[in-house]
């Protein structure tokens, strides 16, 4: 049984994919019998209880120094870069010879490096470079992220383990009734990196008849107001709507009401919402800034350049298809996700990686 401390900036679902994926990983590891404790920098670790069907995961609160010193951990799994508490974790693990697995979570991608660049340059010099280089293992969720890590550290061999996904229990989708308005859905943070201004421009160019676009997610830094103004200026207020964050049954209802999912991000280390959409039986349009080339390889979506023209062309192609074909594509995607990304298999890969790091802490 591994005594694991799993740390994350936040487990509030409105803060993005890692809040869900790290929380569910904790629950899946607990179900395998491991002794898992979770801690969040913003004090939200108790949110993991809703993502822990095992009921075994312990919740740690308070300062990270006290949590680290409360027990002799076999391994610490930290998630993400740039936050100062990571330096405290790094120092403690080094001082006590505890192997540390560091999940990069997309934060070494070019867009992420350049966003608030001067702050990240300072953090890199002060503590983050040391934190990355001293980790016993680096973890990436997609091949492209592995490549970005190895560009900077060619001697490292990052672990490649995808995020897991829950497969909802639902009946097979049925085609929409003739004449029924169909919905294309985006679900995620309302943030510039998600490519939403590009999506609105692409929708204005395509203007698919009989379709509407629904954007769902929490507002970040007032970006919703920017989108609302753009939608109004483009004359799209009757076919493009924005809703606030949704979780649980409300989130499932948005997936159930849609016929197509769109994730136009400039960059994603994984793109958990794309996996969720596939699990709900929706075909997906996304960009080459995400690691979802499997969509075209498996025939369950479109993987196009993060450019207005390319997204508009994909929207035109997708919305012209009969609903029966979209349903069939969605069923293919759901089957692929169930075979490759179900949580028990993903948790087993992490458990094996922990065991290897504990037995061979000096390997990279």
**Is 316 found in the same domain as 220?**
yes
Same domain, 198 and 291: yes
Q: Is residue 61 part of a domain?
A: yes
Convert the pLDDT of each residue in 289-339 to its tens digit. 999 999 999 999 999 999 999 999 999 999 999 999 999 999 999 999 999
Answer yes or no: do 271 and 252 share one domain.
Answer: yes
Give the structural domain span for 297.
182-340
Residues 291 and 226 in one domain: yes
Q: Return all residues near 80 (Cβ < 8 A) that are at least 6 apart.
A: 8, 9, 18, 86, 103, 104, 105, 107
Tell whether 364 is covered by a domain: no
CA distance 314 to 302: 7
Domain assignment of residue 171, yes or no: no
- The rounded distance, in Å, linking the Cα atoms of 273 and 187 is 7
Q: Which of 57-66, 109-118, 168-177, 198-207 has the lowest mean pLDDT?
A: 109-118
Residues 132, 55 share a domain: yes
Spatial distance between the Cα atoms of 74 and 186, rounded to a whole number of angstroms: 40
φ, ψ at 5 (rounded to 5°): -105, 120
Q: Of the given ranges (51-55, 108-112, 278-282), which has the lowest mean pLDDT? A: 108-112
Q: Are residues 26 and 99 in the same domain?
A: yes
Q: Kindly state the average pLDDT of the residues 142-148.
A: 86
96, part of any domain: yes
| 109 pLDDT more than 80 | no
- In sequence order, what are the residues at sequence separation of 6 or more whose Cβ sits closer than 8 angstroms to the Cβ of residue 295? 274, 283, 284, 286, 301, 302, 303, 333
Same domain, 199 and 300: yes
At 363 the pLDDT is: 62
Mean pLDDT, the chain, integer: 92
Note whether 160 and 190 are same-domain residues.
no
CB under 8 Å to 208, separation ≥6 — which residues? 315, 316, 319, 320
Q: Are residues 247 and 268 in the same domain?
A: yes
Q: What pTM was computed for the model?
A: 0.76
Using one digit for the tens of pLDDT, what is the confidence trace for 178-225? 889 999 999 999 999 999 999 999 999 999 999 999 999 999 889 999
Residue 334 and residue 214 share a domain: yes
The answer to whether 140 and 18 have CB atoms below 8 angstroms apart is no
The percentage of the chain sitting over the pLDDT mark of 70, rounded to a whole number, equals 98
Give per-residue burial for 243-278: e unless 16+ CB within 10 Å, then b: eebbeeeebeebbeebbbbbbbbbbbbbbbbbbbbb
Residue 145 falls within a domain, yes or no?
A: yes
Please report, for residues 13, 26, 172, 342, the alpha-carbon distance to residue 281 in angstroms, rounded to integers and kept in the order given: 22, 26, 8, 15
Query: Alpha helices, DSSP H only, in the chain?
Result: 17-31, 64-69, 85-95, 110-114, 117-123, 129-133, 143-152, 196-206, 223-233, 248-257, 272-279, 294-298, 308-319, 323-340, 343-359
pLDDT for 288 equals 95
Q: Which residues fall within 8 angstroms of residue 125, CB to CB, at 6 or more apart?
A: none
Whether 316 is in a domain gets the answer yes
Burial 3-40 (b: 16+ CB within 10 A, else e): ebbbbbbbbbbebbbbbbbbbbbbbbbbbbebbbbbbb
- Cα 202–228–261 angle (5° rounding)? 45
**Which of 255, 277, 262 is CA-nearest to residue 198?**
262
Give dist(CA 23, CA 17) in Å, integer. 10
For residues 242 and 329, membership in a common domain is answered with yes
The domain that contains 123 carries what CATH number? 3.40.50.2000
Determine whether 199 is exposed, middle or buried from the number of CB atoms within 10 Å of its CB (0-12, 13-18, 19+).
buried
364 pLDDT above the threshold of 70: no
172: in domain: no
Residue 133 lies in a domain: yes
Whether residues 235 and 318 share a domain: the answer is yes
Overall number of domains in the chain:
2
Mean pLDDT of 75-98: 93
């Amino acid at each position: 049984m591994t005594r694991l401390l799993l740390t994350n900036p936040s487990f509030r679902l409105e803060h993005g994919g890692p809040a869900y994926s790290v929380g569910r990983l904790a629950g899946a590891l607990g179900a395998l019998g491991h002794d898992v404790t979770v801690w969040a920098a913003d004090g939200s670790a108790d949110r993991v209880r809703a993502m822990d069907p095992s009921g075994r995961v312990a919740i740690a609160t308070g300062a990270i120094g006290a949590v680290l010193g409360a027990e002799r951990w076999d391994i610490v799994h930290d998630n993400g870069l740039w936050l100062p508490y990571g330096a405290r974790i790094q120092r403690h693990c080094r001082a006590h010879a505890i192997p540390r697995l560091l999940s990069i979570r997309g934060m070494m991608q070019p867009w992420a490096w350049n966003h608030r660049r001067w702050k990240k340059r300072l953090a890199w010099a002060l503590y983050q470079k040391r934190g990355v280089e001293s980790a016993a293992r680096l973890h990436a969720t997609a091949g492209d992220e592995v490549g970005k890590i190895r560009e900077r550290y060619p001697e490292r061999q990052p672990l490649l383990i995808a995020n897991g996904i829950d497969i909802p229990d639902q009946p097979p989708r049925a085609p929409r009734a003739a004449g029924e308005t169909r919905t294309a859905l985006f679900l995620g943070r309302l943030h510039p990196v998600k490519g939403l201004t590009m999506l609105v421009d692409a929708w204005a160019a395509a203007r698919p008849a009989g379709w509407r676009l629904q954007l769902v997610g929490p507002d970040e830094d007032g970006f919703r107001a920017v989108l609302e103004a753009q939608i109004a200026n483009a004359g799209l207020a009757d076919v493009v709507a924005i809703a606030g964050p949704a979780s649980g049954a409300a989130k499932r209802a948005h997936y159930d009401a849609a016929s197509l999912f769109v994730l136009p991000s400039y960059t994603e280390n994984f793109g958990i919402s794309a996996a969720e959409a596939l699990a709900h039986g929706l075909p997906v349009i996304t960009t080459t800034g995400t690691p979802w080339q499997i969509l075209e390889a498996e025939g369950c979506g479109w993987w196009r350049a993060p450019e207005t023209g390319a997204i508009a062309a994909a929207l035109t192609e997708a919305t012209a298809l009969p609903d029966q074909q979209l349903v069939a594509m969605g069923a293919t995607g759901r089957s692929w996700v169930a075979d490759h990304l179900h949580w028990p298999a993903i948790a087993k890969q992490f458990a094996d990686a922990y065991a290897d790091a504990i037995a061979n802490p000096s390997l990279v």
